[in-house]
Amino acid sequence: MAYQVFGNGPIDLVFVPGWVSHVELSWEEPSFEHMLQGLASFARVAWFDKRGTGLSDKVSKLPTLEERMDDLRAVMDAAGFGRAAVFGISEGGSMSALFAATYPEKTSALVMYGAFAKRIQSTDYSWAPSREERQKWIELIESSWGGEADLDTLAPSVASDPSFRRRFATYLRSSASPGAALALARMNTDVDIRNVLPSIHVPTLVIHRKGDRDVSVGNGRFLAQQIPGSKFVELAGDDHLPWVGDTDSILAEVEEFLTGTRPSPPSDRVLATVMFTDIVGSTRKAGRHCWTRSCGSES
């Protein structure tokens, strides 16, 4: 597995990306880099490419949610994180919730953005897509992986930007092979963690954009209703990708929840941001990556 540790903040945070990821190429997208820098401004952050994606080894069989929990735990051990806040995006939020319920002693707090408890609609879960709608999306992946992604759903605010579309297509191609992307999409279709939500007893923040076109806001409301004592924050916007749109609002909610302090407005942080960019750049170039399945050694 490939993982990276960056930032010098006072708390430990594991960032769990969604469907596919690439821990190096993400830094080449300015909007994604901005989000990562924001996290690094208040935390020491570890994140990783799940088995079969990004820089991690290709595998014959992609990991289940339970196996991905073991990967997260291995990355924490390799990074020296005894206990950490876990911040999961989309599908990564589902896995993070499962991790928090299973390993409360290793989870200081749980944050989920654009996440869901169940990926397919049922009579008691009406805000997810139908199986037929999901199948159409899977067929789109099968027929057009490698081309420009459906940003009208994932990031409508930049869907008309040809430069972003090209960069995002490159990012997806680099993050997963066609077979891996398809297998993950099919696997995520069957995600259902509803039964574990009431057993989560760590401080929890659920963030969702009101107009999210990929994972509707009803999913976030359900998560918050089912997790005891959780906080729900509904933000404006239609984008599912957290590094697109008003990313600063997401970062502000996460920082306040985890540290107790809300960041100053961006205009008051210009100098700190410029100084920190240099730190992140240096850390990124010397980024720590683990190439063994157990994350037992680094190179």
| 112: in domain | yes
| 172: in domain | no
Q: List, for residues 71-90, the tens digit of each pLDDT value.
A: 899 999 999 999 999 999 99
Provide the CATH number for the domain around residue 31: 3.40.50.1820
Q: Which among 236, 231, 243, 225 has a CA at the least distance from the CA of 90? A: 243
pLDDT of residue 124 exceeding 60? yes
Residue, of 145 and 157, whose pLDDT is higher: 157
Residue-level length of the chain: 299
Contact 175, 53 (CB under 8 A): yes
Q: List, for residues 216-253, the tens digit of each pLDDT value.
A: 999 999 999 999 999 999 999 999 999 999 999 999 99
pLDDT classification of 266: cutoffs 50, 70, 90: low
d(CA 100, CA 95): 9
Angle at the Cα of 183 from the Cα atoms of 178 and 188, rounded to 5 degrees? 130
pTM over cut 0.85: yes
| 158: in domain | no
Widest distance between CA atoms in the chain: 52
| 86: in domain | yes
pLDDT classification of 269: cutoffs 50, 70, 90: very low
Domain limits for position 227: 2-119+192-285
Computed over every residue of the chain, the mean pLDDT equals 87
Q: Which long-range contacts (CB under 8 A, 24 or more apart) does 256-264 make?
A: 257/109, 257/111, 257/203, 257/205, 257/231, 258/11, 258/13, 258/42, 258/43, 258/85, 258/109, 258/111, 259/10, 259/11, 259/42, 263/41, 263/42
d(CA 3, CA 202): 25
Hunting for tokens 């049922």 — which residue is that? 122
pLDDT classification of 58: cutoffs 50, 70, 90: confident
Q: What is the model's pLDDT at position 273?
A: 39
**116-145: average pLDDT:** 90
DSSP letter string, 143-170: HHTTS---HHHH-GGGTT-HHHHHHHHH
| 130: in domain | no
d(CA 137, CA 126): 18
d(CA 195, CA 261): 33
| 140: in domain | no
d(CA 99, CA 290): 21
Residue 287 vs residues 22, 146, 156, 213, 281: alpha-carbon distances, Å: 13, 27, 32, 34, 9
d(CA 105, CA 116): 23
Q: How many domains does the chain have?
A: 1
Helix axes 91-102, 65-79, angle to 10 degrees: 70
| 264: in domain | yes
Structure tokens, 215? 């994972």
Contact 115, 206 (CB under 8 A): yes
Residue 15's CB is within 10 A of a number of other CB atoms, namely 27
| 47: in domain | yes
Contact 240, 114 (CB under 8 A): yes
